[in-house]
Chains A and B, each alone.
Chain A
Amino acid sequence: MAEIRTEELLMNIGPQHPSTHGVLRVVVKVDGEIIKEAEPVVGYLHRGTEKLAEDLQYTQIIPYTDRMDYLSSMVNNHAIVTAVEHAMDLEVPERAEHLRVIVVELNRLMSHLVFLGTYLLDLGAMSPFLYAFANRERVVDYFNRLCGARLTYNYMRVGGVKWDAPDGWIEDVKTFVPHMRKELDMLHDLVTGNEIFLNRVKGIGVYDTDYALSLGLSGINLRCTGFNWDLRKNKPYSIYDRFDFDVIVGQNGDCFDRYMCHMKEIVESLKIVEQALEQIPDGPVMGKVPKILRVPAGEYYHAIEGTRGELGVYIVSEGKDKPYRLKFRRPSFINLQVLPDLLRGQTMSNLIAILGAVDIVLGEVDA
């Protein structure tokens, strides 16, 4: 009796694909429905930000950082300006620090809402996407009033922020916090208890802390395994040590834990925003900085807790107004390395669930 001949299919997912969250290409070798090997191919959105930065003054680099992780531009801005301030030992006025924290945490919230919407859309539920984006739209409106842009804000400057909050802005943002808390309850009702959803994400894509540490994962991808590591608490920067918030830690390291970490982090961000709105003092929004910023010669590394993990900036300076080398430690780039190991032996439907839960933004993967 002749054996039935089966073949392994070599399939290409992306770079144009509704579920890869950008221009990501995953080359998978499939045997029936089981993935034998998966290899992500990146670089489709590589724009040479680091090379361009060698020819730009530090303030001119800030708009380029907006476009790396375009879903959380404020956080990227924050990374580069705190890195330069750390290198130059510059003081930032109190009001500017508070405004920074408010916009950064609101941005984190917005990014997590996008995660929620797109993850559930990938899994087949159409409605949470619209509810999440309707709420995100309110915050986008606030940012529009604040700095004139909806997605790439270019808001922070070395030594402070560019624009002060317009009249009535602080009060309007204060009304958003309780509204968002109610909306979050509604989203939990709709999604978190849903049997079908739980069956698709529980126990999928599991890894443990040792693996996560050796791979250099950070942010939610590390904390979902149960390891408590958040740069806002462990290596405090800006004024985060003044706020009372918890670090959300998962238990099992599966996709459901990553989802729940995202949802709970929205609650924590709301807490921080609320406290910052209470405590914000009056004052200038820009500190005393020299007209031309010259970072003293040497090398510096400074990292902040970005929405997707540790967002670090490595500056090598010769004392000029332009950096000799500027390197961004991009969390999505490092987090994406987890994909080949997690996908081996999984079915094609789980590929979508796993890829969505890693929560990458291709702008940040490719820079």
Chain B
Amino acid sequence: MDFTWLDKPLEFSTVLNMIIGAVIVLAFILGVVTYTIYFERKVIGWMQWRIGPNRVGPLGLLQSIADVLKLLIKEDIVPAKADRTVFLIAPIIAFFPSFMVLAVIPFTATHVFTAASNVGVVYYIALSALTIIGVVLGGWASNNKYSLIGGMRSAAQMISYEVPLAMSMLGVVLMAGSLNLVKIVEAQQEFPYVWYVVPQLLGFIIFIISAVAELNRTPFDLPEAESELVAGYFTEYSGFRFAFYMLAEYVYVFAMSALGTTLYFGGWSGPFLPGWLWFAIKVSCFIFFFFWVRATMPRIRTDQLLSFAWKVLIPLALLNLVGTAVVKALF
């Protein structure tokens, strides 16, 4: 099925359908993110011989909702000497792209809510880089030395890891022959009939490491290191602005996992079960992996982190790219 909104006439009903579709996806993602936060606390708790949240609602299921509600009704504090306009806009700039990138990811075979854009991969990378601006602006506008240092560190880290992330994705693009994420999933169902994680194992490893760094998660969570800079670039944010930053981070967790599933694990393809269920299972496995790494690893230092990106990951990614190209050319 090749449903795409581009074929439909630009009428009021089409526009209305598209808006409703966007709102549905938004609501769905908010639900997913709420329970991602809940499961993170539960899973990490179990790994640490603890129970995790279990008071609010049955099994603590309403914990995230209670937390979000608490954040939303908090007093809106803007530091006195902060650059007010920038301070207010920064979380929005950080958070906006995280939703926009979800437009290109195919959730199911019929991908009704997906844009099926022919430049999906590029669209994703370009938008995820916009978040960095939001982070830096947040760090600067807070008028706080710790936030400034945190913001700069975060920017350095995210920019450095964009490069290997993009290069690892290029390996997959070479194999599939298209930047369209839908076509990449369909290409994994043809020859050589394996998900791209097998021929692109090196690329996958680079992708996973860069993804963790892009998400600012342990072991690359220096910008948020509580024990070193209080809370890095969002030290001064409270209430719903803090909620924006947190939301952006967790939507990105979902988006990166979805991207990884699409590129390397065949997206929604799989026997017996419906496509969306397979997609959900694969994304859940990715998210679980992120939680697992967070519970286990200590933090890497900034200079070690940057030298790792530039001196190790980028050469490996180049190697992967060249190797893929050579193999493709020969066969």
Binding site for B on A (CB under 8 A): 9, 11, 17-19, 33, 120-127, 130-131, 134, 190, 194, 196-197, 199-200, 347-350, 352
Contacts and interface: CB of A to CB of B under 8 A. Distances in A.
Contact of A194 (B50, B221, B297): B297
B300 interface: yes
Given A33-B302, A196-B219, 7 more contacts: A18-B226, A121-B227, A124-B225, A124-B297, A199-B300, A199-B304, A200-B301
Contacts of B297: 124-125, 194, 196
A201 B130 CA distance: 35
B228 interface: yes
A124 B48 contact: no
B299 interface: yes
A123 B296 CA distance: 12
Given A17-B230, A349-B228, A125 B301 contact: no
B49 A18 contact: no
Contact of B298 (A9, A125, A131): A125
A124 B145 contact: no
B298 A124 contact: yes
Contacts of A197: 298
A347 B301 contact: yes
B48 A131 contact: yes
Contacts of B303: 33, 347
Interface string B281-296: 0000000000000111
A281 to B, nearest CB: 38
Nearest to A120: B298
B296 A125 contact: yes
Contacts of B48: 126-127, 130-131
Given A17-B230, A18-B226, A352-B228, A124 B219 contact: yes
| A interface secondary structure, majority | helix
Contacts of A131: 48-49
Contacts of A122: 227-228
Contacts of B298: 120, 123-125, 194, 196-197, 200
Give the one of B219, B228, B302 with max A CB within 10 A.
Answer: B228
Contacts of B304: 199-200
A199 B49 contact: no
A27 to B, nearest CB: 13
A9 B145 contact: yes
Nearest to A12: B145
A122 B222 CA distance: 11
Contacts of A200: 298-301, 304
A349 B301 contact: yes
Nearest to A122: B227
18 contacts: A9-B145, A19-B227, A122-B228, A123-B298, A124-B219, A125-B297, A126-B294, A127-B296, A130-B49, A131-B48, A194-B298, A196-B298, A199-B300, A199-B304, A347-B303, A348-B149, A348-B228, A349-B222
Interface string B186-208: 00000000000000000000000
Contacts of A199: 300-301, 304
A190 B219 CA distance: 15
A298 B303 CA distance: 57
B301 A350 contact: yes
B47 interface: yes
Nearest to A16: B230
Give the one of B50, B218, B299 with max A CB within 10 A.
Answer: B299
A123 B226 contact: no
Contacts of B221: 124
A120 B47 CA distance: 16
Nearest to B228: A352
Contacts of B145: 9, 11
Contacts of A33: 149, 302-303
Interface string B209-237: 00000000011011001111010000000
Contacts of B219: 124, 196
A133 to B, nearest CB: 10
A33 B229 CA distance: 12
B44 interface: yes
Nearest to B231: A18
Interface string B38-60: 00000010011110000000000
A225 to B, nearest CB: 24
